[in-house]
Chains A and B, each alone.
Chain A
Amino acid sequence: MTMTPSLRRTATAAGRRGSSAAGWAGWGWIFVLPGLVGLVVFVVTPMVASLVLGFYDATLLGGLTPAGLENFGQLVRDQQFIASIGVTALFVTIFVPLNIGLSLAMALWLRTRLAGRAWLRVIFLIPALSPMVANAAVFRMLLQRDGLFNSVLDTIGISAIPWLSEGRWALLAIILVSVWQTFGYNMIIIGAGLDLINPDVIAASRIDGAGPVRRLWSLMIPLASPALFFATVMTVIGAWQTFAQSYIITGGGPGHSTTTIMLYVYRAAFSYNDLGYAAAISAVLFVIIASVTLIQVWGQKKWVHYDG
């Protein structure tokens, strides 16, 4: 292959400029390395290990002895473990729709003409960004038999609710506290999704005579579906790992009525000193979360539209 001198010169000049514009190719790896090593050591490896450790007996003295299926065999017969799955599943089933529904409603409301919209948004966001433990401590006080909530109920003639001393009420209390604490974050995410909708589309639907309900169901929700999907997936993942609310407000009680899976993991590991058993519970929780997430990702085809 022959090249005229002038062509060859431009080719090498371009090549040199190209390589200098990208810099030395090794820099990319050097810059990515700290983050990558950290991610592998402190995120990926522990996650993989959480699936494996359940097959061992682990003690604090550093011994890891293979235990085969012993831990899992014990799990199947452990009433407390099965109860914790039931409690957490019930929590997720009630908490997530309440959270997403309220987030969507508030995001829509804050789009209407309002005085001090930005400050309203901040007010609803504050609990989501403040310490769960402090919020939970506050509600532990408000939910006492003579606490604020029962005082309010008393003045409107409703008899005191045994918030923390009856299982069903305690779980409901934990759910309501969690909604109060976390929906502000989803409200912002869904609001950002609604902001991406082309205002002309909404104006056009108004001209076409679509009412507010129809506009919501056939226009706003489909167009904001990526945001709703993201918020739902992340909220479900978080909800299965609920811990601090139960730990602080009810201590998992009365009985085991608010003992979530993560609280049971904590108890198994640090009250009963059975780290292998705790790892086995973690592994089951991991599988539950992964399955639920995959089902949602698979199901999104039916309702999530990415071509807004």
Chain B
Amino acid sequence: MTASPTTRPAPVVSPRDGVSPERRRSRRGWIVNSVLAWVVAFIFMVPIIWTFLTALKPGNEVFSTGLRPFGSEILWSNFADAWTEIGFGRLLANSLTVAAITTVLTLTVATCTAYAFSRLRFRGRNGLFVLFVLTLTLPMEIAVIPLFLGFNAVNLLDTWTALILPSLFGAFGAFLLRQFMLQIPSEIEDAARIDGASTPRILTTIIVPLVRPALSVLAIFTFLASWNSFLWPLIILNSMDKWTLPLGLAGFTTQTGTQWELLMAACVLTILPVIILVAVAQRQLVAAIGAGAFGGR
């Protein structure tokens, strides 16, 4: 089809005419608004930027340099020193292992629960679902003392088992996945059943691949929650060789005569993976935070 000049929509303002005053004003407003927002964002980020700058300063200049962003020399070696001084390698390996185990197990449990609540019929389903939803509002930090006593009674204090187990069953994951599973048309499932597929097979070969985006978002949330977790690890873990990163940072922070430049280097190394993860998965994370809030009502 060839478009005749008459059917083509006429441009509101032709380039030759220049921009109308009204448009120019709205364009100026857009620039001012954007610059303002980025200035606010920059101020908001100053603590994180300053962390990075401090991590590069010589130890005796951390406070003496005032507002100067750089010290007398730039010490990349602080990162290496922090690595050995804080035992960063061990903490990192521990945090990664714990977060990975937690993520795999949480996703497995949540997938099964979400599948039952979204696509299977059984007696008591609605009542159980209400129970799950109600637990979303429970103030879980309060449960640390009973949990501690419980793990003490079965001799599991100072173990990763006790560290990981209580975090696996939050209803948020099941809840989020259910929202996505409900959107899958039942025809796909019916067709598989007629072909003789069993219920577990339908879950693994049809449902799971279809909700993979939701699973990856849940994986990121679960990983971050484990990565950031502090109170429960602080209570349950005693041996330093089992510590995770937040415990290492906390121990290094509260000891007397803190070496700030090394602490800040360790903070940079701890926050950096989060920044990368959030930047890469930003759209999905933002959507999931909204979905988590509105699925509930």
Contact = CB atoms under 8 A, between A and B. Distances in A.
Does A associate with B in a complex? yes
Interface of A: 20-29, 31-32, 34-36, 38-39, 41-47, 49-50, 53, 58, 60, 62, 64, 109-110, 112-116, 118, 120-127, 129-142, 144, 146-148, 151-152, 154-155, 180, 185, 188-189, 191-193, 195-196, 226-227, 230-231, 233-234, 237, 240-241, 243-244, 247-248, 251, 262, 265-266, 269-270, 275, 278-279, 282, 285-286, 289, 293, 306
A279 B250 contact: no
B135 A189 contact: no
Nearest to B125: A28
27 contacts: A23-B202, A27-B122, A28-B122, A31-B116, A32-B112, A32-B116, A34-B112, A38-B168, A41-B169, A44-B131, A49-B149, A113-B29, A121-B282, A127-B48, A129-B228, A130-B275, A137-B264, A139-B47, A147-B63, A191-B290, A241-B142, A266-B231, A269-B235, A282-B145, A286-B142, A289-B139, A293-B137
Interface of A, helix, strand, loop or mixed by DSSP = helix
A102 to B, nearest CB: 11
A275 B143 contact: no
Contacts of B30: 113-115
Contacts, number: 298
A71 B131 CA distance: 31
A50 B145 CA distance: 7
B45, B117, B131, B139, most chain A CB atoms within 10 A: B139
B184 interface: no
Interface in B39-71: 41, 44-48, 50-51, 54, 62-64, 66-67
Contacts of B64: 146
Contacts of A132: 228, 230, 246
A131 B274 contact: yes
Contact of A38 (B33, B109, B115): B109
B148 interface: yes
A129 B174 CA distance: 20
Given A27-B199, A28-B120, A29-B122, A180 B142 contact: no
Nearest to A188: B289
Interface residues of B, number: 103
Contacts of A144: 63
B33 A31 contact: no
A103 B263 CA distance: 30
B246 A133 contact: yes
A132 B260 CA distance: 17
Q: Which residue among B193, B253, B279 has the maximum number of chain A CB atoms within 10 Å of its CB?
A: B253
Nearest to B293: A189
Contacts of B231: 243-244, 262, 266
